[in-house]
Amino acid sequence: MAVVKRSAKGLRRATRANTRTAQARRAKARTSRVVDALMGLLPFTEEQLHRIFLFGIFALVAAAGWFLASAAGFFVFAQAHLAAVAADSGFAVRHVRVTGIERMNEQRVYERVLAQRDTPMPRVDLAAIRSDLMELAWVKDARVSRQLPDLLVVDIVERQPHAVLRKPDRLVLIDREGVELEPVSANAARGRLEISGPGAGRRVGELEHLLDAAPALRPQVKAAEWVGNRRWNLTFKTAQVLALPQGDEESASALISFARLDGQNRLLGGKVETFDMRAPPRIYMRIPGRAEQVLGAVEPS
């Protein structure tokens, strides 16, 4: 008769295995309860959460596809194909209309815009055209738009000529901001305020503010010279010169005082050639030939 012996070691091994299995079941149960509790806190049902998860997967796949297509040049090819189809259908630049031009050379605008002729409308870079037009001195602003199927419309806002800047070799028309527009002849410059002196073009705004201090004198001012990079000399239509002190407030105050004196004593149009107000409140006047007359009067007979 055979005798079966049970090993104590095998029994302990089986007991440990059963213990681990029981622990795993309890841990799984606890995890399931925690997950269920967290799911209960979310504002979604389990079905909705499942849909969101699927949507996230689809979005990830779509993004990966877009990236791969971009890397392969698919979109560039598609854009080129679309532009070709549009051109074949008549959606290409055939005509250009320019508005807003009164003084500048209109041909300068057409030269830059007509480079887009026969370009498919989807490929016309409106921002690049505007940037190119803004490089023209006369152009203060520009608006470019498409009018399908084949028209480009360019609306120009011109700078307004304000004064003439005298340079060593030429006269240049400038606007109120001191932007140089184009060279002009002496005849074309006649009647405009003439500005001169190193750096005077950059101070047109300051000069305008100064002349606004005495509006009654403004129509009488023919020219303004920026002297020594610090002050103005004003020349009136009577050819008389007013030397103003340096400093914005000082020069404006002196000009106002001169306007008051002119209103009381009619200084403009008189015998005085130069009015010097560089040391306010005093005013020094120079009359041509007066020094010779004084010297002649004191000479012994």
Inter-residue contact 94 to 151 (CB < 8 Å): yes
- The mean pLDDT value for 32-51 works out to 58
**Same-domain pairing of 185 and 291:** yes
Residue finishing a domain among 158, 189, 218: 158
Q: Give me 251's structure tokens.
A: 């020069």
The more confident residue out of 78 and 145 is 145
The tally of domains found in the chain comes to: 2
Taking alpha carbons only, the member of 173, 204, 202, 166 closest to residue 104 is 173
Nearest to 108 by CA among 132, 76, 83, 72: 132
Does 173 share its domain with 291?
Answer: yes
Q: Which CATH number goes with the domain that contains 146?
A: 3.10.20.310
| 179, 278: one domain | yes
pLDDT given at position 294: 38
**Of 34-38, 93-97, 121-125, 222-226, minimum mean pLDDT range:** 34-38
Residue with tokens 């598609």: 78
Judgement on whether residues 220 and 262 belong to the same structural domain of the protein: yes
Q: Residues 148, 217: one domain?
A: no
Q: Is the dihedral of CA 47, 52, 57, 58 positive or negative?
A: positive
Residue 219 lies in a domain: yes
DSSP string, 61-97: HHHHHHHHHHHTTHHHHHHHHHHHHHHHTT-B--EEE
* Burial class (CB within 10 angstroms; exposed 0-12, middle 13-18, buried 19+) of 200: buried
Domain boundary among 110, 128, 158: 158
Evaluate whether residue 285 is within a structural domain. Answer: yes
Where a domain ends, among 98, 128, 158? 158
pLDDT recorded at residue 297:
37
145 lies in which domain range?
90-158
Q: What is the pLDDT of residue 75?
A: 46
Pairing mode of beta strands 221-227, 231-236: antiparallel
Question: What average pLDDT score do residues 38-54 get?
Answer: 60
Per-residue pLDDT, averaged over 74-82, amounts to 47
According to the model, what pLDDT value does residue 10 have? 60
Residues 125 and 188 in one domain: no
Task: Give pLDDT tens digits for 53-71.
Answer: 666 776 777 777 666 656 5
Examine the pLDDT at 78 and tell me if it is beyond 70: no
| Domain match, 214 and 101 both | no
Is residue 124 located within the same domain as residue 139? yes
Does residue 216 sit in the same domain as residue 100?
no
pTM score of the predicted model: 0.64
Query: For residue range 227-281, what is the model confidence (pLDDT) as tens digits?
Result: 999 999 999 999 999 999 999 999 999 999 999 999 999 999 999 999 999 998 8
